[in-house]
Amino acid sequence: MEKILEVTDLHVTFATYGGTVQAVRGVDFHLNKGETLAIVGESGCGKSVTVNAIMRLIPNPPGRITNGKILFKGQDLTKLKEKKMRSIRGVDISMIFQDPMTALNPTLTIGNQLMEGLKQHHDVTDKEAKRRALEMLDLVGIPNPEERLKQYPHQFSGGMRQRIVIAIALICEPELLIADEPTTALDVTIQAQILELFERIQEVTGVSIILITHDLGVVAKIADRVAVMYAGKIIETGMKREIFYRPQHPYTKGLLESVPRLDTKGKLQPIEGTPPDLFSPPTGCPFTARCPFAMEVCDKVYPESTAMSDSHTVNCWLQDERAKKVLATMATN
Ligand code: SF4
Ligand code: MG
C-alpha cells in the first residue's frame, strides 16, 4: 500500500513560565493512501499538537518541533520554508477544526469564501470558480446551491456550517484531509450525518483522512485504522477491529470499558487517576501510576513497540518478551 504520510520520532515542546512541556514525545505513525486513520486519546494527550505539527501550525515561540520527520509524499515538511508550506496548506493538505463558526468569515457570503480559497491557489476564471463552488456544495449535500452561495454563515445551521467548512477544505482537491474533533460541537444526529459525509467524500474523491477524536463511537463508525495516544506517545496502533476486539494495552482496554454500553445501563467506567505531568514526564511507561498490571520494569524503562500482527503494535511490557531480560540487566548493573 502506498504511504501518503509518514511521521517518525516527532517531538514537540512548548516553553512556558513553569518550564518546558513535552507535548509530543517521539510519535511514529503512517497513513496509507485513501484510508482513514483515527488518532484517539484524552484531551491533552498530544493528538491536536501532532496534527498541528503536520500542518506546521505550531506557534513558534512558544512551540517547537524539536525532532522528527514528517514525510508527505516523500517530502519532509519539517524542512520546508514557510512560503513553500503555504502552497501546500489548504491545497495538498487541508485541515478542519471543531468549531465551524470560527472557521468561517461572518462578513462574507459562503460563495465568496469558497471561491476565494480556490482563487488564492489557482489561476481560475470567476465562472470556473463558481462552477467549482456549486459542485462542492452539492458534494457536501447542501440543497439549492445557487441560492445558498449568496448567503452568509449565520443563515446556516451548525451542521450546515460544518458542511460548508468541509466544502472549503476540499475545493482545492487536497490529498490529505485532517479533521480535529470535527463533530464534537454538533448534536448527535448531526454528528452521524457529518460522519456519513466523510465516508461519502472519501468514496468520491479518494482523499486520505486523519481524524482526531476522543469519541470511540466516531472511531467505530469511520476509521480504518486507529492510533491510541497517551501522554505524548502513541501506545497502540492497529486496524479498527484489532483495537476494538483485541486491545492489548491496559489504557486502550480502559478506554473501551469507559464507553457506555446497553448492558451496563450506560454507566461510564472512567479510568482512575490522571495522566502524568508533561513538564517532567516519566522515563518508563507513562501509564504506570494508573495501570493495574504495572510491574517493576514499567516505571524504569519505556517499552518499545511490539508487533502483535502485521498491522497491530503495542508499547507495553506485558506483551514484550524482553521485559525479563531488561530487569535482569538492571539488577546486575
Ligand atoms: Fe501497565 Fe507496564 Fe504495560 Fe505500562 S508497560 S501499560 S505499566 S503493564
Ligand atoms: Mg484537541
Distances (CA, A) of 89 to 72, 121, 161: 12, 10, 21
Residue 9 placed within a domain: yes
Residue 52 placed within a domain: yes
Q: What is the ipTM of this complex?
A: 0.96
- The CA angle 301-302-304, to the nearest 5 degrees, is 125
Pick the residue whose CA is nearest to atom 5 on ligand 1.
Answer: 316
Residue 303 placed within a domain: yes
Residue 129 placed within a domain: no
- Is the beta carbon of 287 within 6 A of some atom in ligand 1? yes
- Is the beta carbon of 293 within 6 A of some atom in ligand 1? yes
Residue 262 placed within a domain: yes
pLDDT by 10s per residue, the chain, length 333: 899 999 999 999 999 999 999 999 999 999 999 999 999 999 899 999 999 999 999 999 999 999 999 999 999 999 999 999 999 999 999 999 877 778 899 999 999 999 998 999 999 999 999 999 999 999 999 999 999 999 999 999 999 999 999 999 999 999 999 999 999 888 889 999 999 999 999 999 999 999 999 999 999 999 999 999 999 999 999 999 999 999 999 999 999 987 766 555 555 567 888 999 999 999 999 999 999 999 999 999 999 999 999 999 999 999 988 888 887 887 776
Q: How far is the CA of 124 from the centre of ligand 2 (A)?
A: 35
| Residues contacting 22, CB < 8 A, separation 6+ | 11, 13, 232, 278, 279, 281
Residue 291: which CATH number? 3.40.50.300
Whole-model pTM over 0.80: yes
Set of cell numbers at residue 11: 517531538
Residue 230 placed within a domain: yes
Residue 113 placed within a domain: no
Task: Specify which residues 290 forms β-bridges with.
Answer: none
Q: Give residue-wise pLDDT tens across range 81-123.
A: 999 999 999 999 999 987 777 889 999 999 999 999 899 999 9
- Is the beta carbon of 285 within 6 A of some atom in ligand 1? yes
- Is the beta carbon of 14 within 6 A of some atom in ligand 1? no
Ligand 1, pocket-test mutation among 287, 290, 300, 302, most atoms within 8 A of CB:
287
Domain count, the chain: 1
Which numbered ligand comes closest to the C-alpha of 99? 2
For residue 317, the enclosing domain spans 3-92+207-332
